[in-house]
Amino acid sequence: MSHRILDAGDAALTIEFGNVIDPALLAAVNALDAAILRLQHGGGLPGVIESMPTFRSLTVFFDPLVTDRDTLLAALQPLIDAVEHCTPTDGRHWQLPVCYEGEAAPDLAEVASTLGIDAAEVVALHSGTEYLVYMLGFLPGFPFMGDLAERLHLPRRSQPRVRVPAGSVAIATGLTAIYPWESPGGWHLLGRCPVPLFDARRASPSLLAAGDKVRFVPVSADEYRALEAGLRRGEIDPMQWCVADASSASEAAA
């Protein structure tokens, strides 16, 4: 697959497969990421600190006192060359509850009127698609997911909010996301998900990973409150919403 090597200072470089959002590019990124992780864990990439996969590129962070750009590129080139022969691994499948009602959905009516459809149809479209987690970023555990149904494509809000509540399920520019933290934000808020996306006490603090698939399941405001309370008390394990895990199944088989 065609790619470019971009310098990101003296301690990082980026392998760029393209400049658009495209599942084919993501498959290449994730295949290269998996190959780099394997080699790194086997001790084959001295000086590599970590890698960061995005929609369309992978950035490798390294210690310039241990390795350098040219040594690293020589070690990475065979992995980059092999990427086109990789078949993407299937991530986990999630079905996450979302309340699309009342104060949990502050922009739903406006989005519906802008798009010229009714609110129920917005909810049906948003919850009727299984989304691919393209990458995590912006905030810890923040999943960029796509692709939205064409009917739901909207630019960001012209006036970003100073405070978007944690758990907000939002859309903008063909993508959807869940805000793991209260933060400023410019996306349209369609609902609220009670499941914490980030917990530093977990071995894997982010609930979702790049390559996972997510479907949203509408719940009522009462169900939302019950789920939120149960999660807060630790009576509900967020893993219950992980409905299929192809990656661990294949590892167990191997």
Residues that bind another protein in the complex, under the rule CB under 8 A: 6-14, 16, 19-21, 33, 49-59, 61, 64-65, 68-70, 135-142, 144, 181, 183, 198, 200, 205-206, 209-210
- Going from the C-alpha of 166 to that of each of 140, 177, 180, 191, the distances in angstroms are 12, 11, 5, 11
User: CA-CA distance, 46 to 67, in Å (whole number)?
Assistant: 7
5/109 with CB nearer another protein:
5
Min. distance of Cβ 191 from another protein in angstroms? Answer: 21
Min. distance of Cβ 253 from another protein in angstroms? Answer: 25
Min. distance of Cβ 85 from another protein in angstroms? Answer: 23
Min. distance of Cβ 113 from another protein in angstroms? Answer: 27
Cα distance between the two ends of the chain: 28
CB 170 within 8 A of CB 146: no
- Starting at the edge strand found earlier in the chain, the sheet holding 12-16 runs 4-7, 12-16, 57-62, 48-53
Min. distance of Cβ 44 from another protein in angstroms? Answer: 17
20/252 with CB nearer another protein:
20
56/92 with CB nearer another protein:
56
108/210 with CB nearer another protein:
210
Within 8 A by CB and 6+ apart from 15, the residues are 3, 4, 5, 6, 32, 57, 58, 59, 60, 76, 80
Residue labelled with tokens 């003296």 = 10
Reported residue count of the chain is: 254
7/235 with CB nearer another protein:
7
6/120 with CB nearer another protein:
6
55/224 with CB nearer another protein:
55
My answer on whether omega of the bond before 147 falls inside 30° of 0, hence cis, is yes
User: CA-CA distance, 172 to 55, in Å (whole number)?
Assistant: 16
Half-sphere exposure of 28 (CA within 13 A, CB side): 20
* 64-70 contacts at long range (C-beta below 8 A, 24 or more positions apart): 64/10, 64/11, 69/7, 69/10, 69/13
Min. distance of Cβ 81 from another protein in angstroms? Answer: 21
Min. distance of Cβ 149 from another protein in angstroms? Answer: 20
